[in-house]
Amino acid sequence: MSTFIIAEAGVNHNGELDKALRLVDVAVEAGADAVKFQTFKAESLATDKAGKAEYQKKLTDSEESQVAMLKKLELPHEYHFKLKAYCEEKNIEFMSTAFDFGSLQFLLAEMDLKRLKIPSGEITNLPLIYEHAKSGLDIILSTGMATVGEIEQALMVIAGGYLDNLGRNIQQNWKTAYFDEGARTLLKSKVSLLHCVSQYPAPAESLNLTAIKRLRKTFGLNAGYSDHSLGIWAPISAVTMDATIIEKHFTLDRNLPGPDHQASLEPHELKQMVEAIRNVEAAIGDGVKRPVASELVNLEPVRKSLVLAKPIRRGEVITEQHLAIMRPGTGMPPSKYWDMIGATVSQDYEAGDFLCE
C-alpha cells in the first residue's frame, strides 16, 4: 500500500490567505497526497493563563500570551472554503485538525472532509475524541507524549463513538465498546495511529522509530509517523518501519516569523522527501528473494564459466590443470568444477574453449 503523505501546513500561513494558498501549491508540486491546516478559535483553545511552550518562547515574543499568539494564527472560516475549493481544483485532499468543539462542528458541517486528524495534545481530551468518532469518519490519531494506556483509553472512546454513530448508545461503557466485535472491525478499518515525538525540533535520539511497529503490533491498527525532527531522513526511515502514513510540517520559508517555521521543511525539501519516500516504497518490494528482470541482463557478462586452460584431446582425462574459471557465464557453470575433474572428454578442446555438457 502506498504511503499516505500529509504535508502539514499547520499555522505556517501566519493567518494570511495568500500564504495558505501558496502552501497548497507547494504541497501539490511536492506530490503530497494531502495538505493539512489547523482549525481553532484562540479563546476556545487556551485560557489567558496558558503559557507558551519553550520552543514557542524562543521563536516568538516570550512576553506574549499563548492566546495572543494563537489569535494571529487562526484560519478564518471563510478561508477554509477558499482553500478547500483550491485543493479540489489542484487534486489534493484538504485536511484540517480541529482543536475545539466549535471548530470540529464547523469542519463536519461545512467542509465535507474524508477523514479527521486528532493531534497529540488532544489525546486525553476524551469528550472531543468522542465527538470525532461520532461522525463515523476515518480517524488519524497522533500519539506524541502518550503512554500505551492513554492510547488505549482514546481508542476505547473512539470505539464508543463509532457505535454511537451506528445507533448503539453504550452510555460511556468504554471497555464494552472497545471489545465489541463490530467496534473492533471499525477500529481496524477506520483508525490509524501516528507515532510522534512532540518536541520542536525533536532530537534524533528521541525518535524511537521502532515504536511504529510496536503500535501496529500492540493495537492491530495501521500505524504511521508524524515527524518533528530536522531534515527528511526520519520520515524516509519510518517508511522502512512499515509506516502507512507520513506527516511532516512544511513552510514557504524557515525565516518567516512564527512558532513552527524553523522546524519545518522548505518547498524543495518537501519535494525531496516525497520523492525519496516513493523510491523507498518501490525499493522495499515483497521480501521474496529471487532474480529480478533488470539484473538478468547482467548475468552472462558478470558470471563465469568453465574454460580450458590448456588444450586437451578426445579420450583424455580432465585434471585441475586443464580448467580455468573465467567470464562470460555462457558456458558450463563453475558449480560443475568438481564433476569435471576426472571426466574423460569426448572431443578435442583448445585453450580458451568452453566445456560442453
Distance CA 270, CA 260 (A): 15
Q: Provide the residue-wise pLDDT of the chain in tens; the chain has 357 residues.
A: 599 999 999 999 999 999 999 999 999 999 999 999 999 998 888 888 777 677 776 667 666 788 888 888 899 999 999 999 999 999 999 999 999 999 999 999 999 999 999 999 999 999 999 999 999 999 999 999 999 999 999 999 999 999 999 999 899 999 999 999 999 999 999 999 999 999 989 999 999 999 999 999 999 999 999 999 999 999 999 999 999 999 999 999 999 988 888 889 999 999 999 999 999 999 998 899 999 999 999 999 999 999 999 999 999 999 999 999 999 999 999 999 999 999 999 999 999 999 987
Q: For position 132, what pLDDT does the model report? A: 98
Cell reading at 105:
462542528
Which pLDDT tens digit goes with each residue over 184-193? 999 999 999 9
Angle at 201 between CA 144 and CA 127, to 5 degrees: 25
Distance CA 86, CA 129 (A): 28
* DSSP codes of every residue in 325-355: EES-TTSS-GGGHHHHTTPBPSS-B-TTPBP
- Select from 161, 148, 72 the least CA-distant residue to 116: 161
Distance CA 68, CA 134 (A): 32
N- to C-terminal Cα separation, the chain: 46
Q: For position 1, what pLDDT does the model report? A: 55
The whole-model pTM stands at 0.88
Q: Which residue has the cell 471563510?
A: 78
Q: For position 44, what pLDDT does the model report? A: 83
- Select from 42, 26, 95 the least CA-distant residue to 252: 26
- Select from 9, 8, 67, 13 the least CA-distant residue to 41: 67
Give me the domains of the chain, ranges plus CATH numbers: 4-284 (3.20.20.70), 293-340 (no CATH)
Would you call the peptide bond into 257 cis, given omega within 30 degrees of 0 as the criterion?
A: no
Q: What residues contact 294, with CB distance under 8 A and at least 6 apart? A: none
